[in-house]
Structure 1
Amino acid sequence: MELINRLPFPAMAFRQFDAEGNLDCIVSMRGTFLHVQDDMLDIAPQQESFQWEDAYEGDPHASVMLRQSDLTPDKPGTDVTFLGNAHAPDGKPATSWQSSLRVGSVSKTVEVHGERYWQPKIREKWAGFSAKEPKRVIKDWELTQAQPTDMVPLCWSKAFGGSIPGTGDPEKDTPVDVERRNPLGCGIVNLDMAHDVGPVPAPQITHVGQSLDWRERYEPQGFGFVSPWWRSRQQYAGTYDEAWLNERHPLLPRDFDPRFWQCAHPDLIATPHLTGDEAYQLDHLHPRFAQARGRLPGLTFGVHCQREDRDDWQVLKLDGVHFDWRSKETVMLTWRVRFPLPDAGETTLTLTRVRVKATPEASVASPASQATEDA
């Protein structure tokens, strides 16, 4: 199997077993673009390399995910993610404000806050008549006022979640329990914590208008990548039990759901896929533009599959729109297609830009029958 890539973007063709053990071909491509205010994305002169594995800021279990592997086989929808900071309106320090992200019909708004903490309220408790002095214990937690700021990192560490106090045992090398929806977060406290623990960071990224109660457990809010073992993805991974080991291995479990491959917050997954020409708007996520507006490039790509007994087209789907505005105004788009290819043999795959025919039958025809090369 040979892939001829006529595009300026890195791409790879590889094969993967389907649920029945038959081999499919996956063609995956990553394009790097730059934001242009009130205009279409511009192709970046320097393209990021093909992403061979998930990338993290540090330890995968203790830091944020920065990139998803391009060897992901397929996604039912388009992920929309953002890495960067929330900026206060007009650049003036504020205790809180709203930031939002919209691409096409997919949108999400969060409320961001300056630094704030859970402050323990202490009371003295006598253990009995023989006690020489009272024991100091936590009787309640009080949320401090948020400090004014002009910027808040939109990082999962600033959202609800993290370690659960009182769990784990260092002597037995037992790890602490974590909030499975966001193991990196903050804000979980209880009355069993040591009285001298001091102030504990409270979530700075929340639902709009959400008031915090330390007794409650909240849905973590954010725009970043979600790691495979977090609850929103792990729930789709399927069952890996003895029956799977004896009857299915090395195939995926029968109850595996391809939604596992989606790496965005559930609110930021477009199903069906985005078409690739949508407008986008980011509010208070850019240091200079209160509303950063633009449009996806409207490009359509296809793979021409040729060999002695085969001649057909497969159209790639846009399955990722990833804004990385930590230092530059980079937008990464990922495209992918999966199709049966039991025998790779002498197959030649040509990846190129295509034009999809607008015919009355297009709504029911397969993508392979609609594409022609766009010269």
Structure 2
Amino acid sequence: MSCAAIVHNPTPFVADKFVLADLAGNDVVLTVVSATFEASSGTSLKVAEVQQPIALADAYFGDPRHSSVQVESQLGLMKPCVDVIVRGNVHAPRGAAASTVHFGIAVGRMRKHLIACGDRTWTIGAGGRTPSAPQPFIAMPVVFERAFGGADQSSCCPENPVGVGYRTCRSADPAIRTELPNIEYADSRMTRPSDTVRVAGTGSIARGWQPRLAYAGTFDAAWLDRKWPLLPDDFDARHYQAAPHDQQFPDLPGGERIALVNMTEDGAWHFDLPDVRLSTRYRFDAGHDAQPLRLDTVLIEPEHRRVVMIWKNLQKMSRKRGLLHDIIVFRTRTA
């Protein structure tokens, strides 16, 4: 189904509509708003002059078969929780090379403590194989290629098949030479080749990795006979969540204090999440319907001192309502 409705957007943000199918195959209109804020100085965020576009497709750091997600499409249907995704680097304090750097993020009361460790190899001693001393570094990308995981010819780490350390696998990125993870949770670190530790990261988890894959549903012969090309009956909307589980929030009303440690060159960046309320008004043949937009994703890019917030609303189409003529996006409150 096509939709000729015009999107009226008096806000400074980017807004668009997309006609999709829901789980039952019914036509729905997904309204997406992308709002970009930046901090030119200090900690207060202002509306950016250049607004980031809505991502229409997934983008990877390299070959999609062997790399992690750089940007995920923002056209997924409604997420049960709000994703907070941080895409950037860890920086050694004061720009002086360090072998180990503690870093992390805080959102409200949530604290996430990670460690970046320089490249290491397995050394053989009387007690077996142990990690070598880490090599110093100044800055390091926080990507899943540098976290625990990996794949060989017989198996892979389902939570991160592109990582390093699983069954002594090397990273899928040939430029990464370390034999142990660079990025780890502070309380879950690899010390033996047989260790299985938690996959650490702050970016987007790929759709085909666990735990997301478990929520995608059952694609079997019955699905092929009865449901294709729609999603399976047991599809779970948690499949849309791209952030690590500890970066998902039931709601973020706005005003929450967000802090990043050692993810900027000056060591710390903190700001209050913009308190913005957005709504939509749909004009059908049969009348109007006003709906609030729900915050879906917060993307933080500390290298650019930039925050992108994504809001969405899902509107079902109905013959009783007639044609949809206009979609108006407007702010109901800005603090």
Report the TM range for the smaller structure's normalisation: 0.7 to 0.9
Whole-angstrom distance in 2 between the partners of 1:190 and 1:226: 22
Of 227-236 and 343-352, the range deviating more from structure 2: 343-352
- For the 8 Å contact 2:188–2:198, the answer to whether it is kept is no
What runs of 5+ residues in structure 2 fail to find an aligned partner? 170-176
CA offsets per residue over residues 71-121 of structure 1, 9 Å max, x none?
112111111111111122333333223211122344422112122122357
Counterpart secondary structure, 1:40? coil
Q: Counterpart in 1 of 2:24?
A: 20
Quote the offset at 1:351 in angstroms: 0.8
Checking the alignment, whether the CA contact within 8 Å between 1:283 and 1:292 is kept in structure 2 is yes
2:168 & 2:248 partners in 1: Cα distance? 34
Partner of 2:307: 331
2:172 alignment partner in structure 1: none
For the 8 Å contact 1:106–1:269, the answer to whether it is kept is no
Distance 2:147 2:113 in 1: 14
Q: TM-score, normalised by structure 2?
A: 0.88
Equivalent of 1:267 in 233, 246, 252: 246
Q: Report the secondary structure of 1:246's partner residue.
A: helix
Cα contact 1:316–1:335 (8 A) shared by 2: yes
Q: Which residue of 2 aligns with 1:125?
A: none
Report the aligned-residue RMSD. 2.4
Q: Which shows bigger deviation, 344-353 or 259-268? A: 344-353
TM-score, with structure 1 as normaliser? 0.79
Aligned to 2:292: 315
Counterpart-to-counterpart distance in 2, 1:200 and 1:93: 17
1:224 CA drift (Å): 1.0
Give the match's secondary structure for 2:331: strand
User: Match of 2:174?
Assistant: none
Matches within 5 A, 1:1-375: 1-35=5-39, 39-119=43-123, 140-164=128-152, 167=153, 177-189=155-167, 201-212=179-190, 213-271=192-250, 273-288=251-266, 290-326=267-303, 328-343=304-319, 345-355=323-333
Cα deviation, residue 37, structure 1: 5.7
**Structure 1 residue 190 displacement after superposition:** 5.4
Q: Is the 8 A contact 1:106 1:270 kept in 2?
A: no
Contact 1:85-1:152 at 8 Å conserved across structures? yes
Once residues 316 and 18 of structure 1 are traced to their aligned partners in structure 2, the CA distance between those partners, rounded to angstroms, is 18
User: Which deviations, in whole Å up to 9, do the C-alpha atoms of 1:18-44 show, x marking residues without a partner?
Assistant: 333332221111122213565432111
1:59 Cα offset (Å): 1.2
The answer as to whether partners of 1:24 and 1:342 remain within 8 angstroms in 2 is no
Post-superposition offset of 1:320: 0.9
Larger-Rg structure: 1
- Separation in 2 of the partners of 1:156 and 1:229? 14
Aligned residues: 320
Alignment partners' CA distance in 2, 1:200 and 1:4: 51
Contact 1:37 1:292 in 2 (8 A): no
Does the aligned pair in 2 maintain the 1:104–1:274 contact within 8 Å? no
What is the percentage of aligned positions where both structures have the same residue?
A: 28
Distance change (3 Å), C-alpha of 1:12 and 1:94: same
Shift of 1:322: 0.8
- 3-state DSSP of counterpart to 2:222: helix
